[in-house]
Amino acid sequence: MSRIRPFKILCTVGALSLGMAAAYAQAWKPEKPVEIVVGSAAGGGNDKSARVIQKVWTDTKVVESVVSNKVGGGGTIAYSYVSLKNDAHFIAVAQAGLITNHITGRSTLSLDDVTPLSYVGAEPVALTVRADSPYKNVKQFLEQLKKDPQSLSVSVGSTLGGTNHFAIALLAKSVGIDPKKLKLLVFGGGAESVTNLLGGHISAMSQLVNNSIPHHKAGTMRILCITTAKRSAQIPDVPTCSEAAPNVVLEGWTVLVGPKKMTPAQVAGWEQIIQKTTQSEDWKKYLTANSWDNDYMNAKETAAYLKKDYEQSKALLIELGMAK
């Protein structure tokens, strides 16, 4: 069970679409404050991304905006809220739940119900324990899971069947553990997982790495491994998961999506704004600090990427017995 990043589709048609986008870009821009909708509580991963985007827009006076937290359903409430708006001034910060919730039957909302605008980067997952945990490395952690998969409680964020779940499932599978037997917990988002781990209420968390890096550096948590192909310059002391479990390489992508019905001019206008946002120093600093891959994709490329990811995620969820 492994998931490989889909290839970006670059072709003559894509180039033509970019040319059309440039022509359309002058035809539309936000005319009122934009609502950036996130599916986690304040302090969660996509909330942090939204706040950085909002700061860039405020500082550059590109557009006025507010961040709105619509928590629940692993992001489904947020995505549904934006999907039904017939207004391009509503966008959502979307992650894997946009796809996996549909595959697992948690939501009837699918990729057809939103308009992909841009892929803005990818972040690895970190398996993290408290600093006083008896597990000093991922090998020890997995050895305990092998003895008793229910002996360690692991938070996977706001939903089962997402990238965080995939990471711990792949690690378990690498040592012969049935991932369906793991004791996995769901909270309102990364911030709640952090609180519960620091409070000693759970054994570990499998979360996007931004939730762990500050605590790892402060000495209150220990990151056992991250799902990158190579070690991060931000936390060079942390091994990759593949050092202990070959082929456990995953990315937690983030894309921005709009309502179901958007005009080409609106999509092109958003492409222009988002691309400039990803080129800003504040965004680059945010990505560097959290070990993100900075790799912008336009709307057409993002749609193709999500379609491929849907197919790969479905294969993983079938194996986990979660696909409907």
67: CATH: 3.40.190.150
Note the pLDDT tens digit of each residue in 127-145.
999 999 999 999 999 999 9
User: Does any domain span residue 22?
Assistant: yes
- pTM of this prediction? 0.81
Q: Are residues 170 and 180 in the same domain?
A: yes
Look at residues 243, 276, 311 and tell me which one is the last residue of a structural domain.
Answer: 243
Residue 284 pLDDT class (50, 70, 90 cuts): very high
pLDDT tens per residue across span 152-172? 999 998 888 989 999 999 999
Instruction: Select from 243, 261, 294 the last residue of a domain.
Output: 243
CATH of the domain at 214: 3.40.190.10
Tokens matching residue 29: 């821009």
Q: State whether 104 and 130 are in the same domain.
A: no
Query: How far is residue 115's CA from residue 257's CA, in Å, rounded to a whole number?
Result: 5
The whole-number pLDDT of residue 213 equals 95
Asked if the structure places residue 100 within a domain, the reply is: yes
Report the pLDDT value the prediction gives residue 107, as an integer from 0 to 100.
94
Please check whether residues 210 and 223 belong to one and the same domain.
Answer: yes
Residues 293-313 pLDDT 10s: 878 999 999 999 999 999 999
**pLDDT of residue 14 exceeding 70:** no
pLDDT value at residue 155: 97
Domain match, 163 and 113 both:
no
Query: Could you tell me the residue range of the domain that residue 43 belongs to?
Result: 12-123+253-319
Q: What is the pLDDT of residue 17?
A: 46
**Domain stops at, among 180, 212, 243:** 243
Shared domain for 143 and 226, answered yes or no, is yes
Task: Assess whether 206 and 258 both reside in one domain.
Answer: no
Instruction: Please tell me the total count of domains within the chain.
Output: 2
C-beta separation of 253 from 313 below 8 A: no
Q: How confident is the model at residue 8 (pLDDT cuts 50, 70, 90)?
A: very low
Q: Kindly report which listed range (18-32, 84-98, 209-223, 279-293) carries the lowest average pLDDT score.
A: 18-32
Does any domain span residue 221? yes
Q: Which segment, 23-27, 170-174, 247-251, is predicted with the most confidence on average?
A: 170-174
- Work out the number of other CB atoms within 10 angstroms of the CB of residue 60: 13
Angle at which helix 264-278 crosses helix 45-60, to 10 degrees, equals 90
pLDDT over 50 at 2, yes or no: no
- 20 in the same domain as 114: yes
Are both 146 and 227 inside the same structural domain?
yes
**Do residue 116 and residue 131 come from a single domain?**
no
Mind listing the pLDDT tens digit for each residue in 54-80?
Answer: 999 999 999 999 999 999 888 999 999
Residues 145 and 214 in one domain: yes
Measured at the CA of 140, the angle between CA 137 and CA 146, to 5 degrees, comes to 140
- Give the type of residue at 172: A
pLDDT in the model for residue 27: 61
- Long-range CB pairs of 313-319 (<8 Å, 24+ gap) are 313/3, 313/96, 313/99, 313/100, 313/103, 313/166, 314/103, 315/1, 316/1, 316/3, 316/166, 316/169, 317/100, 317/103, 317/104, 317/161, 319/1
Does 197 share its domain with 54? no
